[in-house]
């Protein structure tokens, strides 16, 4: 049984593994409402994949060479237009990615930044326990 969390992907660029990550999540029964990703995942194919899977709230940061006049019609062109012409609205949603990155950073600093377990199922459990411990420490601040 493959691990739910792809913790040790091969050393490749981010964009090609996007399809595996998103389709794997959907195939495991999760409904994705919004996708937030950095420019490493930016491609017309990744936007098209999200549309095909019924994910229309897609905020994958664009690379500096993305041009609106060369863009085909579709979700990629729509989001590129929003990114270029209404940056404030784009940033209101995209800032949540920074929040997630911050939480991941704190988890790595408070625990080890690697998993000790060898088996994929054990790695999944270890990662979920790290997230649970983080959540409990945050909740503990308010009680």
- Per-residue pLDDT tens over the stretch 2-54: 555 555 555 667 778 899 999 999 999 999 999 999 998 998 899 999 999 99
Q: Is the dihedral of CA 46, 47, 52, 54 positive or negative?
A: positive
Alpha carbon separation from 100 to 18, 104, 105 (Å, rounded): 18, 6, 9
pTM: 0.74
User: Could you tell me the residue ranges of all domains in the chain?
Assistant: 14-113
């Amino acid at each position: 049984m493959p691990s739910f969390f792809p913790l040790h992907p091969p050393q490749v660029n981010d964009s090609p593994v996007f399809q595996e990550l998103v389709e794997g999540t959907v195939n495991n029964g999760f409904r994705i409402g919004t996708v937030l990703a950095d420019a490493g995942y930016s491609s017309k194919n990744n936007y098209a994949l999200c549309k095909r899977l019924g994910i229309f709230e897609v905020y994958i940061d664009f690379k500096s060479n993305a041009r609106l006049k060369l863009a085909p019609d579709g979700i990629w062109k729509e989001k590129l237009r929003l990114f270029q012409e209404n940056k404030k609205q784009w940033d209101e949603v995209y800032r949540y990615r920074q929040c997630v990155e911050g939480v991941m950073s704190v988890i790595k600093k408070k625990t080890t930044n690697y998993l000790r377990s060898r088996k994929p199922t054990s790695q999944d459990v270890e990662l979920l326990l790290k997230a649970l411990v983080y959540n409990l420490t945050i909740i503990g601040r308010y009680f």
